[in-house]
Structure formats: structure tokens, C-alpha cells
């Protein structure tokens, strides 16, 4: 099946750009119909516009969470979205919101979950001297970075690696992983 995808971002949006391009090149069947940022700091929004994707900013800091989610829902309904991809989206959606989108919101996290949930994952991985890290795409549930895992990829950490080099290595894997997961969901009609 093809999904009508919305991508939510807060930052640079390299995963978003990668998904949009895969869709435009028909490497995935699904279409990215809208990119939504939680504020003007999200540099990715300009990239989405340049790629010709409908893009909106809903300024989280100027609204209550409820108002933010109401606006978000308005856009999602208008575009008939049936898959929300979080890609560097730094806000936590409410339980009420997530409940209505069960198994229809996926997130990418730059660690091998359930290790290193939350922020500063690369710093934590380097500090703990883990030998492997990676990235995870998972369904979003009401607990942070805790939903069912859809797929993961790994990177080896060398002695020379630091936070910066690890982030770079993992991000390259993230781009491939997100596409693989969307393809997988298309194949099984999103029914895990």
C-alpha cells in the first residue's frame, strides 16, 4: 500500500530530505504530502519548500500543547495522512494524540534502543565505551523512545570515534534505515 506521509521535524531535516527524495524518485511508493516543523528554528523547512513539498510551521512555543496538536491534526486531516514520520522532531506528543494514531506514528532514534533513550545519545555511547551503536525506527507510544521496534541498523565504534564522528556514521545509516522501514510498512500494509 502507499501511505500519505507527514514528516515532523525540529532541525536540519536530513532524514526528511532523504525520504522526500526517495518518494520523488519513486524508490518508495508512498508520498510525502506535508512537512511540519515545530518552530522557525527548523532549518529543514526551507529544504522541504525547495523540494516542492507543502511545508508548515506550527510554533510550539507560542501555543499550548493542545493548541499545537489541534493545528497539527487539522493539517493531517486535510491531507488525509495515514503515516506520520518523526524525523528529528524534539517535542513529545500527548497520550491523547498518540492514542488516535496507534501504529501510525514512527520515529527514528540514533541508538540501538532500548539503550540510550532520550537526548545526548552519542555522548552517552562514547562515555560508556560501547563497541557498537546504531539507529532504531520504532512505533511511537506514550513512553519516550519505548514503542515496538520495527528495524535497526548497527555501526561499530572505534577507539578514534568521538561524538561527532559517531553522529555522522549513524546518520548515514539512519537515512537507509528509514527508507527500508517505509518499504517494509508498504509491503505489509502497515499491519505489524
Nearer to ligand GRF, 76 or 109 (CB): 109
SS3 percent helix, strand, coil of the chain, rounded to 5, is 40, 20, 40
| Active-site residue, from 109, 122, 138, 175 | 109
CA distance 177 to 85: 13
Q: Say which residues have a Cβ less than 8 Å from residue 73's Cβ, sequence separation at least 6.
A: 97
Active site residue 138: no
Interacting residues with ligand GRF (CB under 6 A): 9, 11-16, 44, 87-88, 108-110, 171, 174
Q: In angstroms, give the least distance from the CB of 19 to ligand GRF.
A: 9
Q: In angstroms, give the least distance from the CB of 8 to ligand GRF.
A: 11
Give me the residue whose beta carbon is nearest to ligand GRF.
88
Q: Where do the H-state alpha helices sit in the chain?
A: 14-24, 44-50, 65-78, 95-99, 121-128, 163-187
Q: In angstroms, give the least distance from the CB of 6 to ligand GRF.
A: 15
Q: Enumerate the active-site residues.
A: 109
Amino acid at each position: 500500500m502507499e501511505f500519505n506521509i507527514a514528516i515532523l521535524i525540529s532541525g536540519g531535516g536530513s532524514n526528511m530530505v532523504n525520504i522526500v527524495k526517495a518518494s520523488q524518485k519513486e524508490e518508495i511508493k508512498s508520498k510525502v504530502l506535508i512537512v511540519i516543523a515545530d518552530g522557525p528554528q527548523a532549518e529543514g523547512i526551507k529544504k522541504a519548500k525547495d523540494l516542492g513539498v507543502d511545508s508548515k510551521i506550527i510554533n510550539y512555543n507560542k501555543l499550548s500543547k493542545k493548541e499545537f496538536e489541534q493545528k497539527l491534526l487539522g493539517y493531517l486531516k486535510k491531507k488525509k495522512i495515514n503515516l506520520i514520520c518523526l524525523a528529528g522532531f524534539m517535542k513529545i506528543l500527548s497520550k491523547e494524540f498518540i492514542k488516535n494514531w496507534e501504529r501510525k506514528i514512527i520515529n527514528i532514534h540514533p541508538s540501538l534502543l532500548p539503550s540510550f533513550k532520550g537526548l545526548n545519545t552519542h555522548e552517552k555511547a562514547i562515555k560508556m565505551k560501547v563497541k557498537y551503536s546504531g539507529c532504531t525506527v520504532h512505533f511511537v507510544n506514550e513512553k519516550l523512545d519505548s514503542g515496538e521496534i520495527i528495524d535497526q541498523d548497527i555501526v561499530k565504534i572505534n577507539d578514534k570515534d568521538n561524538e561527532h564522528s559517531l553522529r555522522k556514521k549513524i546518520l548515514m545509516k539512519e537515512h537507509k534505515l528509514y527508507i527500508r522501514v517505509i518499504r517494509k510498512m508498504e509491503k505489509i500494509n502497515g499491519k505489524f
